[in-house]
């Protein structure tokens, strides 16, 4: 008697990546169901016309699903998207932090709320077109135990409920220009164990070549280069529309020496490292080096004031491969140098990564010492920790206050 096919719920954005992911999963023997999330309220739909979850995207996804011979559904997640992603995006700017909505959308929506839909349809997995590798494995003893990590489940050969395979390893995709493991760092083990990312071991040119060979109309569709709900990538205009001018926190701009420079119309309109839009009158370029949400002060300084070599992260999600038990991690009782270990840390998605010493702390925090100082560490952005290509964990960069004379 043949084994029943495993069923996969595939998130389809209408782009070439998720479209080819559907084809690859079908060829690997999965029973694939396509789903596109509608995340826009009806009165905002015109704003999303060309976005990944807008009307054209839904039409493109439906057309691809028809070509592949798989069912396709549209799921209305507008209310949840508003609460979990858009409100988070706005509140982070109000708190003087720079948000990363893609990480939040993956954790809370795509690999979060969507699971209830997947379960209702009898699915074993959720799949996406992310360029990352998720391997199912037995649990290793530590970061340094490579032996047990070598015993991996081959793609499609075993299910998430198979005995002994209760651990997922998240790795970088092999295409360094497209790797998206950074955006998946916050997924917990239950989410990773039931996730599939079939594009992780492929490059973008290979994906487009497959799409052309299948005759898919989206084969040459351009990639989205902006936040899906921010038209033209103009986040300031979006905040004005979403929050209203009256909700902006007005305040004053000071330099790092404590000199008053000017008034500003909202701390929400600034981010660390920003140069454009600052008052003139200085012989040297000036940048935003700190945002104080308690006083609504914007602190500006020279490029050298942007550089630092240590910071903390909070709400850390440790992957089991890191060998860290948190919360309640006892750094004092740990082995060498208060439990620190060497790793590579990415301080933003476009950052190449830099060597660092990482010290886990209590209450889901960690201290990171960069071996080479880096520019414009931005509170609210994610710092993701790697051992070579393997994600060990990550968290959200905390504010490093710049001392300004009273």
Tens-place pLDDT, residues 255-266: 999 999 999 999
Tens-place pLDDT, residues 305-342: 999 999 999 999 999 989 886 444 444 334 444 589 99
Task: Give the pLDDT band (50/70/90) at residue 51.
Answer: low
In sequence order, what are the residues at sequence separation of 6 or more whose Cβ sits closer than 8 angstroms to the Cβ of residue 209?
none
Report, as an integer, the average pLDDT of 282-291.
92
Query: How many beta carbons lie within 10 A of that of residue 227, not counting itself?
Result: 18
Report, as an integer, the average pLDDT of 205-216.
98
Task: Give the pLDDT band (50/70/90) at residue 406.
Answer: low
Which pLDDT value is given to residue 325? Answer: 66
Which pLDDT value is given to residue 147? Answer: 38
Which pLDDT value is given to residue 148? Answer: 40
What predicted TM-score, i.e. pTM, was given to this entire model? Answer: 0.89
- CA angle centred on 304, ends 299 and 310, rounded to 5°: 85
More confident call, 180 vs 167: 180
Report, as an integer, the average pLDDT of 189-212.
97
Which pLDDT value is given to residue 11? Answer: 97
Say if residue 406 is exposed, middle or buried (CB neighbours under 10 Å; 0-12, 13-18, 19+).
exposed
Which pLDDT value is given to residue 96? Answer: 96
Report, as an integer, the average pLDDT of 35-60.
71
Query: Could you tell me which of 29, 213, 197, 41 has the C-alpha nearest to residue 110?
Result: 197
Which pLDDT value is given to residue 161? Answer: 40
CA Rg value for the chain: 23
> Average per-residue pLDDT in the chain?
87
Tens-place pLDDT, residues 218-231: 999 998 777 888 88
Report, as an integer, the average pLDDT of 386-394.
97
Which pLDDT value is given to residue 129? Answer: 97
Report, as an integer, the average pLDDT of 211-218.
97
Of 11-15, 142-146, 354-358, least confident by mean pLDDT is: 142-146
Which pLDDT value is given to residue 282? Answer: 79
Say if residue 307 is exposed, middle or buried (CB neighbours under 10 Å; 0-12, 13-18, 19+).
middle
More confident call, 44 vs 200: 200
Which pLDDT value is given to residue 229? Answer: 85
Does residue 136 have a pLDDT over 90? no
Task: Give the pLDDT band (50/70/90) at residue 69.
Answer: very high
Q: Give catalytic residues, as residue numbers.
A: 105, 228
Task: Give the pLDDT band (50/70/90) at residue 18.
Answer: very high
Which pLDDT value is given to residue 167? Answer: 85
- CA 329 from centre of chain: 25
Helix (H, G, I), strand (E, B) or coil at 59: helix
Helix (H) or strand (E) holding 92: helix 87-94
Using CA atoms, how far residue 281 sits from 261, 264, 285, 299, 306, in Å, is 9, 16, 10, 16, 20
Query: How many beta carbons lie within 10 A of that of residue 94, not counting itself?
Result: 16
Which pLDDT value is given to residue 233? Answer: 84
């Amino acid at each position: 008697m043949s084994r029943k096919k495993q069923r996969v719920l595939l998130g389809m954005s209408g782009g070439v990546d998720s479209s080819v992911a559907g084809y690859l999963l079908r060829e690997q023997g999965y029973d694939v169901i396509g789903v596109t999330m509608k995340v826009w309220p009806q009165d905002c739909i015109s704003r999303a016309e060309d976005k990944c979850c807008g009307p054209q995207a839904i039409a493109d996804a439906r057309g691809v699903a028809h070509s592949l011979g798989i069912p396709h559904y549209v799921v209305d997640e507008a209310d949840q998207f508003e609460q979990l992603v858009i409100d988070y995006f706005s509140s982070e700017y109000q708190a003087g932090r720079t948000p990363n909505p893609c990480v939040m959308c993956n954790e809370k929506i795509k690999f979060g709320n969507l699971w209830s839909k997947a379960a209702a349809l009898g699915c074993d997995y959720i799949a996406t077109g992310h360029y990352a590798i998720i391997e199912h494995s037995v649990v290793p003893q530590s970061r340094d135990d490579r032996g047990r990590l070598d015993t991996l489940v081959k793609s499609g050969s075993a299910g998430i409920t198979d005995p002994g395979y209760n651990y997922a390893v998240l790795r970088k995709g092999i295409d360094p220009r497209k790797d998206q493991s950074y955006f998946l760092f916050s997924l917990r083990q239950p989410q990773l164990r039931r996730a599939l990312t079939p594009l992780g071991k492929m490059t973008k040119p290979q994906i487009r070549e497959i799409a052309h060979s299948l005759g898919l109309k989206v084969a040459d569709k351009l990639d989205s280069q902006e936040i899906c709900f921010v038209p033209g990538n103009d986040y300031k205009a979006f905040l004005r529309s979403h929050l209203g001018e009256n909700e902006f926190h007005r305040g004053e701009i000071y330099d790092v020496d404590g000199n008053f420079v000017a008034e500003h119309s909202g701390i929400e309109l600034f981010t660390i490292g920003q140069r454009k839009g600052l008052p003139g009158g200085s012989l040297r370029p000036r940048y935003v080096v700190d945002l104080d949400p308690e006083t609504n002060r914007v602190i500006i300084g020279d490029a050298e004031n942007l550089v630092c070599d240590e910071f903390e992260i909070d709400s850390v999600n440790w992957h089991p491969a890191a060998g860290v038990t948190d919360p309640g991690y006892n750094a004092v009782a740990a082995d060498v140098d208060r439990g620190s270990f060497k790793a590579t840390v990415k301080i933003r998605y476009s950052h190449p990564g830099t060597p660092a010493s990482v010290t886990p702390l209590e209450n889901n925090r960690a201290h990171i010492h960069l071996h080479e100082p880096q520019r414009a560490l931005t509170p609210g952005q994610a710092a993701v920790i790697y051992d070579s290509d393997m994600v060990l964990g990550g968290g959200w960069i905390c504010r490093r206050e710049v001392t300004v004379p009273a």
